[in-house]
Structure formats: structure tokens, C-alpha cells
Structure 1
Amino acid sequence: MTQRPLQITIMNDYELVVAGVIAMLKPYADRVGVVEVDAHERPALPVDIVLFDTFGSTSSLTAVVKHIERHCLADRVVLYTWEPTPQAVSAARSAGINALISKALPASELVEALEQIHQASGFVVRSDPAGPVDELGSQPNRCHDWPGSTAQLSMREAEMVALICQGKSNSDIAQQTSLSPNSVKAYIRSAYRKMGVTTRAQAVAWGISHGFLPQPCRLHLADP
């Protein structure tokens, strides 16, 4: 009897972000496949793992886990982030998340990590041995995509713009991303230069026209 592929949902409000993960997993469709389902209804098919991509999210990890539990979406939740720091691991554990995966992992290792997490009983961390992203938020793994990438915004710069477009102050952004206020300011200044803007209002207008407004939360479910 052929074993069914692992059934995975992707939780993020940005179409480009979700599409990037789907593209990574596509060559491994015999092991993991991805389709969209309604985030507020119990899925018709069983779900093994929710992969929560943190890009542009303003929700706390605890709120994310409660939402998943409330709608019976999956038994396991994975935090998918560029920064698998000890602080991120601690926050994930405290929120009831089951594992953390670095976005720097190539597709083959991402699939292996998901399969490992599906079988594991304890907390799992899969990070990139090359280390975290650099100070400009650049990454070697270009399989991912995000709003603003065509304008040469790094992932971290784009995340600043995404949160600004959601009305967040610099202080809010620092708290949400676990960055220092000075780092937030530096990322925003760098993003503004690339966007050709000088004010927050101009940044919001630019962001709206470049896909930075989040859509209602969608989940993506793997075909059996």
C-alpha cells in the first residue's frame, strides 16, 4: 500500500510568500503537496502540520496556536522563520508550537524536516548550519519570494514595509520582530532608499501599490 503524502497547510496572509513555499515543495509532490483551504472551517481532509510563516504577521504566537486549535486544523504547528534564535525557540515552546524550521534550509531539507517533525514526539529545531541572515536581511535561499523583492527589498526590509502598511509604529515593529529600535530604523531607511520615498505616508502608498496589504488569512492543505 502506497503511503499518502504528508498533508501540510501554510499559514500566511501574503500570496507571494505562500507561492514561494509552494514552489519549493512542488518537486516533492509525492511526499508533500499544497492546496488552499478556508482558514475558518474545519478541513475536509486530515492535516498533519500547519507551517506558520512569520512574514508580516502581527499576531502573537499564542494567538496563532489558539486559532489552529479552535478550528481543529492540525495536531502539529511549525514556526517557519529566517531567525532560528534561542529566543525564537523559547517563544515557540512557550506558545505551544511543536517545532521551528529555518527558512534558509533548501527544499530537500525542508521536506526532510517536515517528515521528521511529523514522527517526532518532542520539540524539533532544524536550522541552517551557515547561520542567520546578515545585517541587511539578505538570504542565500532564493526559492522564497515576498512583496517588494522585485524592487530589491531584502526580506527584512520588506517586512518593515508590510508592518508599516498595517499601521504599526517603529516601537510596535521592534516588539513584533524582536529587533532593536535602531535596527528597525536602519531597515526602514534602507527600504525607503530603494523605494524612492521619504515619508511614512509615501511608504504606505508605495506598499499598497506593490502588494503589501495582507489578505484575510488563508491556509493551504496538501492533496492526499
Structure 2
Amino acid sequence: MTSADLPGDALAILIIDDHRMFADAMMNLFRQCWPAASVRCVNSANEGLQQLQQQAWQLLLMDLGLPDMDGLALLEQVRKQHSSLPLLVCTGETRPVVLKRVLQAGASGLITKNQSAEEVLQAIDAVLAGIRYLAPEAEQALSIPEPHQADVLSERQLAILRLMQAGHSTPEIARQLFLSPNTVKTHIRLMFEKLGVNNRVECLTVAHERGYIHV
């Protein structure tokens, strides 16, 4: 079944997203395509769970970054209660380890917020038909071999990496993250070891190739 197989007034879409501009754009797109459809947006996971209890929905579009609950936790909870609901996750995350967790938790598909309206509609048709949809960025990220766990950068190291990418010096990074310069130096040394590099330029290049940072 695709969106074309559903009468306009039978299509009910719930959006869980706290980014107002994106949510409004999606609501306008859906209402243009299906004027009689029921389209509602809520800004938190708890509101979304309430809506799922109160009404039958044909599609759930949800963000991973929500203010009141981890997106993966919400996804797992929704799947336990609504196992067959087509569910599209919108994310800017491209680390393979995270994307795999999203799919393992039960997402029907993955889209990104920079995709075109046409691509979003294609994603909806795919998941309504029971076909998994992956945004090109997600598909490319998942094709990269996952590193050994010992090689995975920690959240602290990722924060340091992003500041390095922005051109900050070690003392500046230390101030922004409320760390000592020696602690930052230790993390940088560990990152070099994990990525098999010898300097910052090589570190940023390899980190980009592995999907840890983006240009």
C-alpha cells in the first residue's frame, strides 16, 4: 500500500519534532498533497505517545533529537506498542553505529532534513508499501565498514574533534569544554591512535572519511 492507495481522508500522519520550521514545512507539504488528510505535529515525545494512544495513525514521522526523551528510547517504545505502524525517522546523524541502532530499533526508514519534498514523498510511499527507505546519505554511511569498538571515538572526543574542525586551539577547546589543556591533549593523542594518524590534518581527514564529522 502507498499513499495513492489511501483515500485522502483516511491518511493520518503524526509528526513528532521540536524544530518548528521543519515541522511546519512538512505539515504544509502533506496538506498540499492530501488536503483531506489528518496531519498533526507535536513537539515532544510525551505528546507524541499521547497522540498515538488517542488516535489511529497511518504514518509517524519523528525526529531523534527531542527535548524530553532520547529518540532511540521513543522509537523502541513506539515499536512495542505499535509494531506495524510505518515509521520514518528524520536525522542528521550519519555514524553507522547510530544508524544501525535506529534500524534495529524498528524504524521503517531514514530521511534527512535537507532532502527535497519529492524525496520525502518517495520515502513515505516506500514505507507505506512496507519497503525500507534510506536517505542517500544514510545509505552511504551504512556502506562504510564499522570500526572495531576499540576504535570508536567517545562523545568527549567527538566534541573535541568538532572544535578542532572549527579551527580551535587546544587551550580554546579546553576552555569551551571546561577541561584542562592536558586532558584535551590526552584525548587528542588517543584519537590519533584510534584513527591511525600523526597530526590534526590527518585526523580531520580520516575522521571525515569515517563519518565522524562533515564538511
Q: Return the TM-score normalized by structure 2.
A: 0.50
Structure having greater relative contact order (Cα 8 Å, sep ≥ 6): 1
Gaps of 5+ in 2: 142-153, 169-174, 178-215
The answer to whether the 8 A contact 1:105-1:128 is kept is: no
The answer to whether the 8 A contact 1:84-1:127 is kept is: no
Q: Tell me what 2:87 maps to.
A: 77
Q: Deviations over 1:121-140 (max 9, x none)?
A: 5x3213369x89xxxxxxxx
Q: Deviations over 1:89-146 (max 9, x none)?
A: 312122222211122221122012111111125x3213369x89xxxxxxxxxxxxxx
The answer to whether the 8 A contact 1:81-1:102 is kept is: yes
Instruction: Give the helix-richer structure, 1 or 2.
Output: 2
The answer to whether the 8 A contact 2:15-2:23 is kept is: yes
Match of 1:35 among 35, 40, 51: 40
Change (3 A) 1:44 1:55: closer
Q: Deviations over 1:172-194 (max 9, x none)?
A: xx749xx812244368999xxxx
Would you say how many aligned residue pairs link Structure 1 and Structure 2? Answer: 148
Q: In structure 1, the residue corresponding to 2:61 is in which secondary structure?
A: strand
Q: In the alignment, does 2:20 pair up with 1:10?
A: no
Q: In the alignment, does 2:112 pair up with 1:64?
A: no
| Counterpart Cα distance in 2 of 1:127 and 1:32 | 28
The answer to whether the 8 A contact 1:105-1:127 is kept is: no
Q: What is the CA RMSD across the aligned residues, in angstroms?
A: 4.1
Change (3 A) 1:15 1:94: same
| Counterpart Cα distance in 1 of 2:107 and 2:56 | 19
Change (3 A) 1:16 1:119: same
Q: In the alignment, does 2:63 pair up with 1:48?
A: no
Counterpart AA for 1:118: L
Q: Tell me what 1:90 maps to.
A: 100
Identity of aligned residues (%): 14
Query: Superposition pairs for residues 62-211 of structure 1, below 5 Å?
Result: 62-69=72-79, 72=82, 75-84=85-94, 86-121=96-131, 123-127=132-136, 175=155, 180-185=158-163
The answer to whether the 8 A contact 1:50-1:73 is kept is: no
Change (3 A) 1:90 1:186: same
Q: Tell me what 2:144 maps to.
A: none
The structure that has the greater radius of gyration is 2
Change (3 A) 1:65 1:183: same
Q: In structure 1, the residue corresponding to 2:18 is in which secondary structure?
A: coil
Q: Tell me what 1:147 maps to.
A: none
Moved more, 5-14 or 71-80: 71-80
Change (3 A) 1:53 1:36: closer
Q: In the alignment, does 2:3 pair up with 1:25?
A: no
Gaps of 5+ in 1: 133-173, 191-197, 201-224
Q: Deviations over 1:28-81 (max 9, x none)?
A: 234965224643434444212221113455744431123324664972322112
Q: Return the TM-score normalized by structure 1.
A: 0.49
Instruction: Give the strand-richer structure, 1 or 2.
Output: 1
